[in-house]
Chain A
Amino acid sequence: MSEPRLPLLETKNLKKYYPLQRGMFGGGSGTVKAIDGISFYVEKGETLGLVGESGSGKTTTGRAILRAVEPTEGQVLFRLDDKGVIDFTALKKSDLRRFRQYVQMIFQDPYSSLNPRMTARDIIAEPLVASGLAKGSEVDDRVRQVAKRCQLNLEHLRRYPHAFSGGQRQRIGIARALVVQPKFVVCDEAVSALDVSIQAQILNLLMDAQEEYGLTYLFIAHDLSVVEHVSNRVAVMYLGRIVELAPTSKLFYQPLHPYTAALMSAIPDLDPDRVMKPVILEGEIPSPANPPSGCHFHPRCSFAQEICKTQTPEFKEYRPGQFAACHFAEQLELQGALKSN
């Protein structure tokens, strides 16, 4: 092993609670714990995949890192070579804009994430102008440079978003994120809305850009095959908490958490002779407004015991680099999506 790399970004006990209003006359009663104590680090140059079902808090995690939603509690530490460690959550609103140049986001829906009344050129240039990184002709130079990198036709930059196809719009979205030369990019379901043939192009583009600019990604997706393809490590979320975090191959070969194993078993295999034998989870993902006691997963877990109902399992390292929050992580021998031959 080479020397341990320093994490570029670290979240510590990140929480986002939404007050729940009942009735016409307000009076908050209870909270929705969208994310409830998320801690992880991402090393420079790596891709951390973040998976989970709808409502698990993946998107909120990504947004809380950028402070696109204000975290209720916790820290987002960001290491800059020349400025030391910055606590993103402690920044004043007025400073935030300056620091957003280091952290950018790519969105899922290339149709609603671009302003229809701005040209492609203006959309891509906006972060540059807003953060005051470039002026005058320099703006155009940098826009053209990044648009070229994202394989956009430079002559089309004067067009409006409606004139572009879904794949091209996603390239505009990527160009907009990369134009400020960020260090860290949150890709929130960046390829989920795209057709298979276009998805492959965008995945290649993201991976090339990562290599070229030394980018670090938080890659949020629900498609496990895509996550396995791009990620160095993967975190699995369930009801606002991370239940397992491991290097990709470990997670896919030998998951420790029953929820991870259930997700893995539900991936439809491209080989018709490898018949999917999904671990059928009882019921549906519970409401985050009223999560189950103890381990959030226990009502749907086939291995649940008494202790799971009362005690929240500790999130700890069971194998090198492989963390899980399950009382029985050591006893269960779970099957991943991949089998070693």
Chain B
Amino acid sequence: MTQTPLLEIKDLHISFPLDEGTVQAVAGVNLTIYPGQVMGVVGESGCGKSVTAQSLLRIIPPPGRIDAGQILFRPSKLFKDTKGDGVVDLAAFKSNDETLRRIRGNEIAMIFQEPMNSFSPVHTIGNQLMEAILLHQKMTEKEARARGAELLRLVGISNADARMDNYPYQFSGGMRQRAMIAIALSCTPSLLVADEPTTALDVTIQAQILDLLRRLQQQFGMAIMFITHNLGVIAQIADHVAIMYLGQVVEQGPVREILRNPKHPYTMDLLRAVPRLGKTAGKRLVAIEGGIPSPFNRPTGCPFHPRCSKVIPGVCNTHIPQLVQLDETHSVRCVLYEPKVPQPNPEPTDVRTAPAVA
């Protein structure tokens, strides 16, 4: 693939120094998104998917901080000259940098899980829409209002002109999510970050929103980073998917490849653990043992090894697995696929009672 990436996250590390200790929320994430691509990011709570998304706009809640890594972004509208090739490193800015403010909302827009908490309750929907437009585009208020109403119509809100004067409480959950999408699209960003946008919605409304996002994505050709824990939603919307576990991308590739032919034991186990229509009724599910480890107590070696069904004692608990490129698009972070399998450490420190692999 010779296309230039829109976004390249390189070895990103984010930590939260707290009184109880330091939480390594993101521990070496690599992720590439191409223009117009829908990248699904899947993981359970605490895997760092939201923090990764927030880092793109540099809105990580304090005391979180980027310790290392790069977030290379290629803006389509601003300054083509910053680094010669028009690439900026979002991780290198101060979070109040002027350049960042011109990127936020304009080049990279974000929609959130809780549409109620994402709006100001004391301003009308129209006001909040116009704010985003006027911030980045040269327009009169009248033009901005017309543009706002047009956007509301675009996201399927009927009677848009009158709705501009409504307050968020007058909108239902699904409509608020539509309005938030309208704000996000107001400046036709090249990347839309969607953090669990359908999780709080009912299934029928979720289907409507997914349908809308898919349609708008085709119309505007923007890339979407779609974060969710629901594998069914990923299957329906994403082209590519990255599976995250405890701050790392453990596997990524085209969505069909990952869902049909998963390589990482975590991906395999995760897919087996989901009830499937018509396939698992009445049967026991193959659950993943144990719980997600405490963030203060990251396992050594591969973070998944205490729960892994294919753990190699003496290797997985000491050796940090490398990212292995299986083919052009599919990569996995597991020792099973490393070309040179490291020798077991003679003194394993933390071993489950699994039989040693011969």
Contact = CB atoms under 8 A, between A and B. Distances in A.
A273 B287 CA distance: 26
Given A53-B203, A276-B207, A252 B172 contact: no
Given A204-B284, A225-B276, A337-B277, A271 B44 contact: no
A272 B259 contact: yes
B306 to A, nearest CB: 13
B253 to A, nearest CB: 12
Nearest to A164: B291
A165 B292 contact: yes
Interface string B267-294: 0011101111110111011111001101
A257 to B, nearest CB: 14
Q: Give the interface size class of chain A.
A: 35 or more
A168 B288 contact: no
A280 B203 CA distance: 11
Nearest to A208: B284
Nearest to A226: B275
Contact of A270 (B204, B232, B285, B287): B232
Contacts of B277: 224-225, 228, 252, 267, 269, 337-338
Nearest to B289: A201
B287 to A, nearest CB: 4
B291 A167 contact: yes
B202 A225 contact: no
A263 B270 contact: no
A200 B202 contact: no
Contacts of A165: 291-292, 294
Contacts of A168: 291
Contact of A275 (B236, B285, B307): B236
Contacts of B288: 197, 200-201
Given A53-B202, A165-B292, A268-B236, A280 B276 contact: no
A281 interface: yes
A208 to B, nearest CB: 8
B284 A207 contact: yes
B281 A284 contact: no
A199 to B, nearest CB: 7
B259 A270 contact: yes
Contacts of B307: 197
A263 B255 contact: no
A32 B347 CA distance: 67
A195 interface: yes
A285 B206 CA distance: 13
Nearest to A300: B204
Contact of B205 (A204, A249, A284): A284
B116 interface: no
B300 interface: no
Nearest to A272: B235
Contact of B203 (A197, A200, A224, A275): A224
A249 B278 CA distance: 8
A281 B211 CA distance: 12
Contacts of A275: 236
B236 A248 contact: no
A265 interface: yes
A267 B270 contact: no
B233 interface: yes
Nearest to B206: A266
Contacts of A226: 275
A229 B235 contact: no
Contacts of B324: none
Nearest to B278: A338
B231 interface: yes
A198 interface: yes
A281 B204 contact: yes
Nearest to B294: A165
Interface in A268-293: 268-273, 275-276, 278, 280-281, 284-285
B245 to A, nearest CB: 10
B95 interface: no
B256 interface: yes
A229 B281 contact: yes
B175 interface: yes
B207 A272 contact: no
B204 A203 contact: no
Interface of B: 44-45, 172, 174-175, 202-208, 210-211, 229-233, 235-236, 255-256, 259, 269-271, 273-278, 280-282, 284-288, 291-292, 294, 307
6 contacts: A166-B45, A195-B229, A196-B274, A226-B275, A262-B204, A266-B207
